[in-house]
Amino acid sequence: MIKHIALALTLAVAPMSSFAAQFIEGKHFTQVSDKAPSSEPKLTEFFSLYCHNCYNMEKQYLGDIKANLDKSVTFDSKHVDFMNSDIGTEVMRSLAVIQTVGQKDQLTNAMFAAIQGNEGGHGHDHGAEGDKHEETINNRDDIKQVFAKFGVDAAQYDKAADSKETDAKLALWRAQQQEFKVQSVPAFVVNDKYAVNMSSVRTLAELIDLINYLAVEHK
């Protein structure tokens, strides 16, 4: 149901070094838009709260990626719509609410855990024989219970989830998912123009260098 890719090799923190001369279009990155790049350097992560590899990325690598971005590069995350269902839309809305109310890391991890179980970020296979994890997120009320543990009451949640701003955000995410041809997650798009080829990445340092190169150097 969820399309995703495994990282080609285990990403490991390594000393930063310059890989710019080695980055090749078509191998390390792909142009996914004919439009001009964003006016300011930016990195966008497309992910799904249902994706095991996205949970691994969130818990193990994303903090290092954001901490080592060039200071001019902003970061944003967007939820894909691979499910095309009512609950899929509600989960997408939950990310928009997180971005509105704050506590991004805590709430994002709580939603990952609620959907995938606490072992979801460590390669846990929910399809394995004997797996006893049951879906705990089946509707908006289930989501609101997660948020309530972080001080976001039901009324506050509904106000943010049903706002025009959230509707516009979901429409943008869906449109950009199609525009940037996002077919697997986690996916990184730089400057609204270049998609990182995750299968070409050997180390976390190389991934960061590639992102920074595309964001501030590549023309």
Give per-residue burial for 196-207: e unless 16+ CB within 10 Å, then b.
bbbebbebbbbb
How does pLDDT run across 187-206, given as a tens digit for each residue? 999 999 999 999 998 899 99
pLDDT given for residue 102 in this prediction: 81
pLDDT given for residue 104 in this prediction: 85
List beta partners, residue 25: 29
List beta partners, residue 216: none
C-alpha Rg value of the chain to the nearest Å: 17
Contact yes or no for 65/97 (Cβ under 8 A): no
Q: Please list the ranges in the chain whose pLDDT falls under 50.
A: 1-17, 121-133
Q: Who's near 65: CB < 8 A, 6+ residues apart?
A: 43, 204, 207, 208, 211
pTM of the model: 0.83
CA 215 to chain centre: 18
Contact yes or no for 32/179 (Cβ under 8 A): yes
How does pLDDT run across 207-216, given as a tens digit for each residue? 999 999 999 9
pLDDT given for residue 175 in this prediction: 96
pLDDT given for residue 78 in this prediction: 97
